[in-house]
Amino acid sequence: MANRKYIVGNWKMNGLQSELSDISEIASIAAAHPSVDAAICPPVTLIASAASHNSAFAIGAQDCHFNEKGAHTGCVSAAMIKQAGASFSILGHSERRADQHETDAEIKAKAEAVHAAGLGAIICVGETEEERDAGKAVHVVCGQLEGSFPDKADSSWLTIAYEPVWAIGTGRVPEASDVEEMHAAIRNKLGKLMGEGADAVRILYGGSMNGGNAAELLAVPNVDGGLVGGASLTAEKFGPIIEAAAAA
Ligand code: 13P
């Protein structure tokens, strides 16, 4: 289990130039809590300006293509997001697995592409409500992890985010005991996939994390940080989560 908590904001399809002031305000809070690794993933259109607006935290992308270049209209490559100022990318978010039908094999290829470009990756995994109700949550999540797990993985560039699909944007959060069970299962699976280095890979929790529940979630064993959607959009909401991570 890593010592430094990692708090990542995923802005999804939110954010115009006018919202860059939020990045600056969040940067001030992050700078006041240097014991926390904070990051924001704005839409790709804001990566360059967000990167030049702050030096207190990392800027990431929300996705990139697995090919270096070519005829893929509307897509961006790892080298492109890197040149814009991103130091990592979220990959395999459940919204992309659902909306863009992304497969584990594509996510693995994307992770290997970002690593080859010298970037980090946060690979997302998580079960649907039907899968949890059917008692298959651990099986599904560990299957996603195995299928999307890149070659040459190590903690210097790879992070895993557990995001139960039914908790995203719903205000519903799993019981701490369920989060603990899943993060332990992910840790165990990482051990099988990569051996010793597994303990140092950070495993984030995501899904309706906010200033009110962050302290409890971040205290769960094997929860090394959070991947935050709605509550990352303003300093007012994201600040308390960074503060909770600093106190954890
Ligand atoms: P919410 O925090 O809005 O539930 O979103 C979580 C998420 O999907 C982050 O990637």
Calculate mean pLDDT across residues 223-241. Answer: 98
Ligand 1 centroid vs 227 CA: distance in angstroms?
Answer: 7
- Split at pLDDT 50, 70, 90, the class of 20 is very high
Tell whether the model's pLDDT for residue 166 goes beyond 70: yes
The reported pLDDT for the residue numbered 203 is: 98
CA 1–ligand 1 middle distance (angstroms): 23
The pLDDT assigned to 98 comes to 96
| Ligand 1 in reach of 230 Cβ (< 6 A) | yes
For tokens 């890149």, what's the residue?
A: 150
User: Average pLDDT of the chain?
Assistant: 96
Choice among 127, 131, 163, 243 that is catalytic: 163
pLDDT at 55 over 90: no
The whole-number average pLDDT for the span 171-194 is 98
pLDDT of the residue at 142: 98
Confidence of residue 2 (pLDDT cuts 50, 70, 90): low
Closest ligand 1 atom, residue 90 Cα: 10
How far is residue 31's CA from residue 13's CA, in Å, rounded to a whole number? 26
| Residues 6 or more apart in contact with residue 18 via CB below 8 angstroms | none
Q: Is pLDDT larger for residue 53 or for residue 219?
A: 219
Q: Which atom of ligand 1 is nearest to the CA of 168?
A: 4
DSSP secondary structure string, 136-197? -HHHHHHHHHHHHPPTT--TTTEEEEE--GGGTTTS----HHHHHHHHHHHHHHHHHHHGGG
In this prediction, residue 54 carries a pLDDT of 72
Instruction: Judge whether 163 counts as a catalytic residue.
Output: yes
pLDDT at 56: 82
Distance 80 CA to ligand 1 centre (A): 25
pLDDT digits (tens, 9 = 90+) for 72-105: 999 999 999 999 999 999 999 999 999 999 999 9
> Is residue 45 pLDDT above 60, yes or no?
yes
Minimum CA distance residue for ligand 1 atom 5? 229
53 catalytically annotated: no
